[in-house]
Amino acid sequence: MCKFLYTLLAVSFLAACGTNPNETPKKTFVDVAGIDSSIKPGDNFFRYVNGRWYDTATIAADQSGVGSYSFLNIPQKQLLQNILDSVSKAQNAAGTIDQKVGDFYASGMDTNTVNQRGYEPIKPILARIDAITDVPSLIKYMAVELKSGNSLLIGFGVGPDNKNSKINIAHAAQTGIGLPERDYYFKTDSSTIAIQQAYKKYISALFQLTGTDSATAAKQADLAYGIEKQIAASHKTNIELRDINANYNKMTVASISKRQPNIGWEAFLAEVGAKTDSIDMGQPAYYDKLNTLLKSISINDWKVYLKESTLQNYAPALSKPFVDATFELTKTLSGQAVQKPRRQIMTEAVDRQLGQALGQLYVKRYFNEDAKKRVLDLVNNLQKAFENRINNLDWMSDSTKQKAKEKLYAITKKIGYPDKWRSYDKVQIDRTKYFENLLSLSQNDYQYNLDKLNKPVDRSEWGTTPSTVTAYYNPSSNEIVFPAGILQFPYFDFEADDALNYGGIGMVIGHEMTHAFDDQGAQFDKDGNVKSWWTKEDYEKFRAKTQKVVELYSSFTVLDTVHIKGALTLGENTADNGGIAIAYDAFKMTQQGKDSTKIDGFTPDQRFYLSIARIWRVKTRDAFMRTYVNTNPHSPAMWRVNGPLMSAAPFYKAFNVQPTDKNFKPEDQRIKIW
């Protein structure tokens, strides 16, 4: 599960599940026949539970993986497609959510019109680039485009103040590159070089599709890539971005205007409609570098860069040749063999652009309200279990324990769907104009967020759509969120026994709770402010324990010589370890947890751990996995199972793990934080 909603490669991450003939029928719960008894649980529990499935599962050609978690979004998308097919064909009253959702979907499904228009919709935008004559007009172009969702060199947004979480403030973050993260521009291994070459080829293809000859397009691609590489040199790495305090730099507009005069902050903010006297500049070094580059790079070269970036932004919304060119890069990054069907692409687009409107229709048709009550019971039980674990910690002082428990019980619980739905009343949708609809929705999103500037934070707001198979912890609001989409098998089912539900959704709940106390979450107080609530000695002990997490996971090999990035995945690995321990304790409070009656030949404790391995039943393409390891803060599925269980004493007892087993860890090497 993710602490912050992770969007990189989201399109390629959602993969076929549920339609695969190798998947276990729902009501069997535990795939007993699929257990590979030739593998000892203590050698590789992920393979013990999922090995037979893994070796026979087929990844669909239009996907990058198959299995649970985010790949479970595929059957979800089928449900959403059913809704969209229905409302797009109905006679809906103007202005209703049915009309807006249905007509937006229909406009994107009208590929004849989209293809006939070619790149006509963006010609006026490209013409505005041609009209740029100096740095101030370049900045103005970027400001205008930002309001339509095309963020170029200035990553501007509005969100809570880390030091005063009740108020929304202006933020500026590093941006300006097209590859997943900065290291892709500097690594020289064969797989990264292949991505660099594919990326340049993609840029060249976009230029050619707008009428540039191939030789000139190749030169322009090299030029644009070179500018991106200079920009990337100023970027912090994904690991460096995890440092909460180092990435909080609230400055006055007056001071940054003097520090970075070429950017022209006052003019930029006026153009984007942001009335503020300060900005949290997450990565000042990036904007210092940008300030220099705006003068050292010629205006004509900047115009090539702006065209390249703008074409990338709008290409998926243009005709088939642009979509095909974009997919060629996706293939290299994810290994996905063929494009997704248009219906699936448009379903994702509607969910992304009109998510809460579509979410209302989804909840009305498919969500079981009883699930909300049952999951809330589990949340409350895990909260009690977490409190008990805090009370019994041998490394934390009583004063810090009291603060930890205050934060634990201050967590807001959001389950199923929002109490208050977002309104799209200001959005106008035309059934015949897909590109214009996208612009209208992007402009509405921008204004929706801008309107929050300098206003109190609305803590009832959700950061994901109800149908998404995910869960998250938001540190600035101290909240845990479980959308309707994840409240289904294999995570949760009314007909399953407690062992399976606590090993499934219970582990997810414990995971998100633990995020409040991982290396980042632990820096926020109960009100969502970055503020120390630890004694100095306790925090030093905590840091020493988390370093052991970094070291353990860095030792895991994913592909040939590719290792998990322990520092990048620290928060998620901490949450996995804590989540399983807390869920197990909560399970032991139930009647089944206190019993020893076997089901399908397995004890309650064994079924609990079987469920954990089942929810991470995932198989991906190698190309996707390479990108995933470089950019995703979660460990790959196998190590989300095996990693935490190496330190779970009840697991050792349940499956008789011995010192000779490959994943056995001596007592003094086990992770024990929460």
Length of the chain (residues): 674
**87-90 long-range CB contacts below 8 Å, 24 or more apart?**
87/361
Asked whether residue 426 carries a pLDDT value surpassing 60, the answer given is yes
pLDDT of residue 656: 98
Asked whether residue 120 carries a pLDDT value surpassing 50, the answer given is yes
Asked whether residue 511 carries a pLDDT value surpassing 70, the answer given is yes
Tokens of 6: 């992770």
Over range 624-636, report the average pLDDT. Answer: 96
Q: Which of 553, 521, 549 minimizes the C-alpha distance to 636?
A: 553
Over range 169-189, report the average pLDDT. Answer: 97
CA distances from 639 to 99, 514, 616, 644 (A): 45, 18, 9, 8
3-state SS class at 540 = helix
Nearest-angstrom CA–CA distance, 34 and 50: 7
Asked whether residue 4 carries a pLDDT value surpassing 60, the answer given is no
Beta-carbon contacts of residue 363 (< 8 Å; ≥ 6 apart):
416, 417, 466, 484
Q: Which of 584, 591, 642 minimizes the C-alpha distance to 613?
A: 642
Nearest-angstrom CA–CA distance, 277 and 266: 9
Beta-carbon contacts of residue 3 (< 8 Å; ≥ 6 apart):
472, 473, 474, 475, 512, 515, 518, 520, 521, 571, 572, 575, 633
pLDDT of residue 206: 98
pLDDT of residue 68: 86
Asked whether residue 28 carries a pLDDT value surpassing 90, the answer given is no
pLDDT of residue 22: 39
pLDDT of residue 205: 98
Sign of dihedral through CA atoms 518, 523, 526, 527?
Answer: negative
Q: Which of 352, 316, 344 minimizes the C-alpha distance to 435?
A: 316
Nearest-angstrom CA–CA distance, 132 and 310: 14
Asked whether residue 638 carries a pLDDT value surpassing 80, the answer given is yes
pLDDT of residue 24: 39
pLDDT, tens only, 297-327: 999 999 999 999 999 999 999 999 999 999 9
Beta-carbon contacts of residue 386 (< 8 Å; ≥ 6 apart):
408, 510, 513, 582, 674
Q: Which of 290, 297, 273 minimizes the C-alpha distance to 144?
A: 273
Nearest-angstrom CA–CA distance, 265 and 67: 47
Tokens of 591: 């009647």
Nearest-angstrom CA–CA distance, 378 and 268: 48
Q: Which of 9, 14, 126 minimizes the C-alpha distance to 66?
A: 14
Beginning with the edge strand found earlier in the chain, give each strand of the sheet holding 472-474 in spatial order.
Answer: 412-416, 479-483, 472-474
Tokens of 375: 């999951």
pLDDT, tens only, 208-247: 999 999 999 999 999 999 999 999 999 999 999 999 999 9
Nearest-angstrom CA–CA distance, 627 and 192: 10
Asked whether residue 496 carries a pLDDT value surpassing 70, the answer given is yes
Nearest-angstrom CA–CA distance, 16 and 540: 44
CA distances from 396 to 402, 513, 524, 652, 674 (A): 10, 18, 17, 26, 10
pLDDT, tens only, 138-157: 999 999 999 999 999 999 99
Axis crossing angle, helix 123-130 with helix 135-146, rounded to the nearest 10: 160
CA angle 184, 345, 107 (to 5 degrees): 130
CA angle 479, 482, 487 (to 5 degrees): 160
pLDDT, tens only, 246-263: 999 999 999 999 999 999
Asked whether residue 15 carries a pLDDT value surpassing 80, the answer given is no
Q: How confident is the model at residue 23 (pLDDT cuts 50, 70, 90)?
A: very low
The CATH architecture assigned to 10-78+354-422+461-669 reads 3-Layer(aba) Sandwich (3.40)
Element (H, E) at 143: helix 135-146
The reply to whether omega before 490 is within 30° of 0 (cis) is yes
Over range 389-402, report the average pLDDT. Answer: 98
Beta-carbon contacts of residue 22 (< 8 Å; ≥ 6 apart):
53, 56, 57, 58
Q: How confident is the model at residue 71 (pLDDT cuts 50, 70, 90)?
A: confident
Asked whether residue 1 carries a pLDDT value surpassing 80, the answer given is no
Say yes or no: domain 119-317 is CATH 1.10.1380.10.
Answer: yes
The residue behind tokens 């089944």 is 592
* DSSP at 421: P
Q: Where are the alpha helices (DSSP H) in 354-497?
A: 355-366, 369-391, 398-410, 434-450
Tokens of 260: 């970075």
Nearest-angstrom CA–CA distance, 174 and 322: 27
- Name which residue leads in pLDDT, 70 or 476: 476
pLDDT of residue 640: 97
Domain boundaries, given as residue ranges, for the chain: 10-78+354-422+461-669, 119-317
pTM of the predicted structure, to 2 decimals: 0.93
pLDDT, tens only, 579-597: 999 999 999 999 999 999 9
The residue behind tokens 């997943």 is 180
Tokens of 50: 């999922």
Beta-carbon contacts of residue 380 (< 8 Å; ≥ 6 apart):
none
CA angle 571, 609, 48 (to 5 degrees): 100
pLDDT of residue 75: 78
What is the average pLDDT value for the chain, to the nearest integer? 94
